[in-house]
Amino acid sequence: MGSWTQTVTAKVLGIGVLALLMTIPLMQVNGLVQERQQLRETAITQIAQGWGGAQVLGGPVLVVPTMKQVSAGDNQPYQLRAGSESLLADSLTMDVAMAVQTRSYGIYSAPVFVATAKLVAQFRPQDLARLRRGSAASWQGGRAELRLPIGDLRGLQEITELNINGQPARFDSSAARLGPWPNVVVPMDLGAFADQPIKVEIGLKLAGTQSLQLLPLARSTEVDMHAPWRDPSFIGAALPLEHRVDGNGFSAHWHLLDLNRSYGQHWSDSDDGIRAALQASTFGVQLYQPVDVYQRNVRAGKYGLLFIAMTFVAFFLFEVLKRLRVHPVQYLLVGAALATFYVVLLALSEQVGFGRAYALAAAAVVLIVGGYAMAVLQARRAGLLLGGVLGLIYAMLYGLIAAEQYALLIGALVLLVMVALMMYLTRRIDWYAYVPTGGALPAPAAPAAIMEQS
């Protein structure tokens, strides 16, 4: 009587251990995918440095310098501290047209844009008067600044128009910031606008990479945006009230009120939390790339162990039902071929796209494993059948990758069917039986005997 290590049960446990060992190369492949992703992010950063990064654009904000008396401590004279107070417009309209193209850095590419924006903002004199009456600080005469926040000033290509109450003006550079964003500014004398509304008209061209977000810096903000990009991803604190996406691109319309955000129409520079509140109120669009090969490679790798196990199960069923013997080293070689699939897929997908790379890598592995099975099982039909089963497994894997929202459901059903099929095919196997110990492979059982056994 043979040893326990020759039982079918021991064979199953050994195959399970081998399948778990295959997680090591799969983890290495996953690390390789992350490394290539980092290289892609570095390439996008290089593109953004010469073009402009992810952009944020706000409406004009009226900022007034102030002086305030503060206590320096007990029995100490009061000190004057400089500060500022900011006032938002009553209404703001933004019309944004984006021209989009793809820029490459080596083998990597990213969508870039030039946004032609038209901004019209209007400040009410009663809002300015109310802010001055309610301020605890003294205003410094009639001096003020009109600030325009822009996420990345490197992308500011041109100011095509700047009028204040119909009079031309000019932006100056400034070290001042609105929240986390830099500004361009226009010095103003509020005395020239006594009891008058202040209407500001701005036209500019702003270059950026991948995304453009806007700030609702008015009591009422209206935004219209359109671009020839067919895969927009609307992001941020507000989704568009109306949008259209077709083969020519997208268009979207937003309407936001001051009631929709977590900050008011005015604040002082000492207000805590205004920076975070401003950042949380951004909204806009990201130029989504639906063929992100790295995201799909990551998703393929998540099912790697499952599909290696399914292939091992197929080999094991042939081994048991046909009373053959497959050495653990042969299982390892098959597992190595299956793990190599993910490396080939990653390398090819960077060059020819994910769909074509998947077909080429899967076909290569199916041919290698199917041909190897013919030799190992000494049966051409068995090798062809195993190659067909492996091809079906890769087809199911591609379906899981493509079905983003239903991947979990499909994967669960595939796993359930696999377990049920294995239970059905092995229902008559005597798991206490010993594997034959002869040196040569036994002759394959007759088809009728196999059918009777299954």
Distance CA 297, CA 299 (A): 5
In this predicted structure, what is the pLDDT of residue 412?
Answer: 77
* Other Cβ atoms within 10 Å of 270 Cβ, number: 15
**DSSP string for residues in 7-41:** BHHHHHHHHHHHHHHTHHHHHHHHHHHHHHHHHHH
In this predicted structure, what is the pLDDT of residue 389?
Answer: 80
Distance CA 360, CA 253 (A): 43
Distance CA 151, CA 210 (A): 13
Using the predicted structure, report yes or no on whether residue 260 has a pLDDT greater than 80: yes
Show Cβ contacts of residue 132 under 8 Å, excluding neighbours closer than 6 positions.
139
Indicate the pTM of the whole model: 0.70
Dig out the tokens for 321 from the structure.
């039902």
Show Cβ contacts of residue 351 under 8 Å, excluding neighbours closer than 6 positions.
107, 357
In this predicted structure, what is the pLDDT of residue 279?
Answer: 93
Distance CA 267, CA 320 (A): 77
Using the predicted structure, report yes or no on whether residue 429 has a pLDDT greater than 70: no
Q: Cβ(224)–Cβ(95) under 8 Å?
A: yes
Q: Cβ(305)–Cβ(18) under 8 Å?
A: no
> What's the angle, vertex CA 136, arms to CA 132 and CA 142, rounded to 5?
40
Q: Cβ(177)–Cβ(57) under 8 Å?
A: no
Which of 53-62, 106-115, 266-275, 352-361 is most confident?
53-62
User: What ranges do the domains of the chain cover?
Assistant: 4-39+294-453, 53-69+79-290
235-244 contacts: CB < 8 A, separation 24 or more?
235/211, 235/283, 235/284, 235/285, 235/286, 236/282, 236/283, 236/284, 237/261, 237/280, 237/281, 237/282, 237/283, 238/283, 239/283
In this predicted structure, what is the pLDDT of residue 280?
Answer: 94
Name beta bridge partners: 98.
Answer: 115
Of 288, 253, 283, 286, nearest in space to 57 by CA: 283
Q: Cβ(263)–Cβ(234) under 8 Å?
A: no
In this predicted structure, what is the pLDDT of residue 272?
Answer: 80
Q: Which residue has the tokens 């361009």?
A: 184
In this predicted structure, what is the pLDDT of residue 417?
Answer: 79
In this predicted structure, what is the pLDDT of residue 314?
Answer: 76
The residue-averaged pLDDT of 149-173 equals: 93
CA dihedral 227, 229, 235, 240 (to 10 degrees): 50
Amino acid (1-letter code) at residue 261:
R
Q: Cβ(61)–Cβ(217) under 8 Å?
A: yes
Distance CA 388, CA 402 (A): 21
Tell me the angle at which helices 354-377 and 293-302 cross, rounded to the nearest 10 degrees. Answer: 30
In this predicted structure, what is the pLDDT of residue 211?
Answer: 93
The model's confidence at residue 453, banded by pLDDT at 50, 70 and 90, is very low
Using the predicted structure, report yes or no on whether residue 368 has a pLDDT greater than 90: no
Q: Cβ(267)–Cβ(135) under 8 Å?
A: no
The model's confidence at residue 9, banded by pLDDT at 50, 70 and 90, is low
Could you give the C-alpha distances from 314 to 266, 369, 415, 419, in angstroms and in order? Answer: 69, 12, 14, 12
Show Cβ contacts of residue 128 under 8 Å, excluding neighbours closer than 6 positions.
62, 87, 190
Using the predicted structure, report yes or no on whether residue 88 has a pLDDT greater than 90: yes
* Dmax (CA) of the chain: 108
Quick check: helix, strand or coil at residue 213? Answer: strand
Give me the percent of the chain exceeding a pLDDT of 90: 32
Overall fold of domain 53-69+79-290: Immunoglobulin-like (2.60.40)
- Mean pLDDT, the chain, whole residue set: 81
Distance CA 29, CA 341 (A): 10
